[in-house]
Amino acid sequence: MGKKKSNSSNAAQLLESSTAPILEINYQDPLFTVAAHPTKPILISGLATGHVICNSYDAEKLEETSKAKRDEIIQLETQAYELGKLPHVNKSVSQSKKKWWKIIKDDQEEEDSLFVGNWKTKRHKGSCRHAIFDPLESSVGEFVYTVGTDNIIKKAATETGKVVGKHNVVKDYPNSKDSITKLCHSTSHPFLLAGTENGHILIYDSKNLGTGGLKYKVSQAHDDAINHIMAMPTVSAYHYLSLGSTTLAHIDIRKGIITQSDDQEDELLSMCYASDHITENGNDTVLVGHGEGIITIWKNSKNKFQDQLSRIKVNKNASIDVICPTMNVDESDLVDSVWCGDSEGLLHRVNYKRGKVVETRVHSSGNKGKYGGVDEVGILDIDYDYRLISAGMDSLKIWSNRENEEEDVSEDDEDSSSDSDSDSGSSSDSGSGFDSDEELEEESEKEEGDDDEGEEDKEEEEEEESEEEVEVPTLIRRKRTNISEIISKPKRKTIDINKLTPSEQPEPTDEPTTTPKKVKEKKLTTKQLRNMQKHEHGIRKFEGL
């Protein structure tokens, strides 16, 4: 007997975006870390074997070839649908049997120059645990820092891969059996931070990595392994946030812990700033991913990061292993959103101001992982052109940053005006017809109607459509029917909602058309009106009823 799909899988299909990858890289050995160059199409990959790989990709050509192949597939499926050979034209990226994006197997260089290997080296004994690019403005992206289970931090030139500095951190451990888990670099000063499995944070001078030695040390910032370290550039070059076990800590690398949060009774796995709080607004708003599948919102201005202020449910069946900002401050919806990846192989775009998931993408589904399971999303990054990069231990995907125009391929032109505001990047709200965020928030505060009244309204919709002889080829088309146009035109027949229930007065049958003013209609209750609005997604409100 087949395994029943989880609720999260069903929800992912409903919210799935039509945005597809432009590049997929499958790795022969487990992938542990990925870093995207801040200004160039360059990727650094760290493997469980200790190898570090540097690749370049032609993003624009990948976008063009991917779009051309997708258009070709949609055209063929549309023709097959018109001939009755297919039940529908597939719009889902995850459910598609044909992949139109570039797929690289075993990290091999391609002859078409769309994916090029710059260099590959055995950098660490054991595994490579973490890799980051140099974020300093004077040398942004020129160097890459890596650390492995061999307890050696290495600094190498991005262009050549040549090591220019290294430091063995074993002598800096209080316990020699400790190990580095995470790296972080200041955006303004040569401070390189390393978090350990025992909860310590070690700080080095990145310009003198080989000779400088330990510069600062914060002991026992957490009771367990450091899961994340994040700089606070608008506060101070010496101030950082760290996650470990079930707490969030605000530290000064010179003085130690400033504040440590209350015990959250759930492991805190990842964190990031909102996009408009990275380099401004005092690094005030922080979003944290939890082991129980939620995101919590923290504000320094409210309670000094002492406790979470609110929470957003994302996926109760999975942990939120990684989270990152969209980095796009030009679009209002994206500036208020963050990306997060979970242990079920799903990617979620969460609008934290609206408190909901607004878009989902499928990094891995079913038993597609190399070892028979889902490729859990443990790595997220944003490339130089705001493309999302997602990775698990088996594969890496670079997602398109272009909007898709194939959404309405099977719809008539007459509906194009009502759908002009819909977008592939907001699939959870597709067809909702909300004119503004304020209306959406107002709608979300209303109570849900009874199921029996919902069925009654559904019958009313079908009755209205049959009277008006509107051709409805698909279920999606029925949802997009504009009731306001039917009601507002006086030349058409008005449908009385009371005829759906027994009435003492017989319905007049000799009058083919009546104007709305002459028909004595019973006023709709608030609950009935709300249900009509709920089941007809294309209409926000009915005026005059």
pLDDT at 185 over 70: yes
Mean of the per-residue pLDDT values of the chain: 79
How far is Cα 380 from Cα 397, in angstroms, rounded to an integer?
10
361: β partners: 347
Q: Which amino acid is at 363?
A: H
3-state class of 43 per DSSP? strand
- Which DSSP string do the residues of 103-150 spell out, in sequence order? EEETTPPPTTSSEEEEEEEE-SSS-EEEEEE---GGGTTTEEEEEETT
Residue 489 to residues 460, 465, 516, 528, Cα–Cα distance (Å): 18, 15, 9, 22
Task: Report pLDDT for 430.
Answer: 34
CB contact at 8 A, 100 and 70? yes
CB atoms within 10 A of CB 47: 23
Q: How many CB atoms lie within 10 A of CB 153?
A: 25
Q: Is the pLDDT of residue 438 over 50?
A: no
Residue 107: the pLDDT is 66
pLDDT tens digits, one per residue of 28-80? 999 999 999 999 999 999 999 999 999 999 999 999 999 999 999 888 888 88
Q: Which residue did the predictor score with more confidence, 306 or 488?
A: 306
Confidence of residue 110 (pLDDT cuts 50, 70, 90): low
Beta strands in 197-345 (DSSP E): 201-205, 214-218, 226-231, 239-244, 247-252, 256-260, 268-273, 285-290, 294-299, 310-313, 320-325, 337-342
Closest CA relative to residue 71, chosen from 342, 343, 402: 402
Kindly state the percentage of the chain with pLDDT values over 70: 69
Residue 389: which pLDDT band, with cuts at 50, 70 and 90?
Answer: very high
Predicted confidence band of residue 26 (pLDDT cuts 50, 70, 90): very high
pLDDT bucket at 12, cuts 50 / 70 / 90: low
pLDDT the model gives residue 92: 80
Read off the pLDDT of residues 144-169 as tens digits, 9 standing for 90 and up. Answer: 999 999 999 999 999 999 999 999 99
The whole-angstrom separation of Cα 29 and Cα 379 is: 16
Backbone φ and ψ of 66, nearest 5°:
-65, -45
Residue with more model confidence, 7 or 63: 63
CA distance 538 to 439: 14
d(C-alpha 21, C-alpha 471), whole Å: 36
pTM of the model: 0.73
Q: Report the pLDDT value the prediction gives residue 374, as an integer from 0 to 100.
A: 82
* Cα angle 95, 101, 107; round to 5: 110
Q: What percent of the chain has pLDDT over 90?
A: 56
Reading the block at residue 544, the tokens are 């005059």
Position 13 scores a pLDDT of 63
Contacts of 10 (CB under 8 A, 6+ apart): none
Domain boundaries, the chain: 413-535
The residue with tokens 């399971």 is: 373
Name the CA radius of gyration of the chain, rounded: 28
Highest-scoring range by mean pLDDT, 105-114, 265-274, 371-380: 265-274
Of 138-142, 267-271, 408-412, least confident by mean pLDDT is 408-412
Please state, in angstroms and rounded to a whole number, the distance separating the CA atoms of residues 195 and 243.
10
User: Which two tokens mark 40?
Assistant: 């160039």
* Whole-number Å distance between alpha carbons of 150 and 128: 9
Tens digit of each residue's pLDDT (9 = 90 or more) over 189-239? 999 999 999 999 999 999 999 888 899 999 999 999 999 999 999 999 999
Q: What is the mean pLDDT of residues 365-373?
A: 55
Give the pLDDT band (50/70/90) at residue 418: very low
pLDDT at 134 exceeding the cut of 80: yes
CA 216/CA 359 separation, integer angstroms = 42
Residue 24 pLDDT > 90? yes
Residue 266, pLDDT > 60, answer: yes
Q: Parallel, antiparallel, or unpaired: how do β-strands 31-36 and 379-382 relate?
A: unpaired
Cα(306)–Cα(159) distance, integer angstroms? 43
What local confidence, expressed as pLDDT, does residue 419 receive? 36
CA 32 to chain centre: 20
CA angle at residue 113 from 108 to 114, to 5 degrees? 80
What does DSSP say about strands 21-26 and 102-105: parallel, antiparallel, or unpaired? parallel
Dihedral angle at the C-alpha atoms of 157, 162, 163, 164, nearest 10 degrees? -60
Q: How many residues does the chain have?
A: 545
pLDDT for the residue 373 = 59
In tens, the pLDDT along 304-358 reads 999 999 999 999 999 999 999 999 888 878 899 999 999 999 999 999 999 999 9
Order of all β-strands in the sheet with 21-26: 102-105, 21-26, 395-399, 388-391, 379-382
Task: Name the β-bridge partners of 21.
Answer: 399
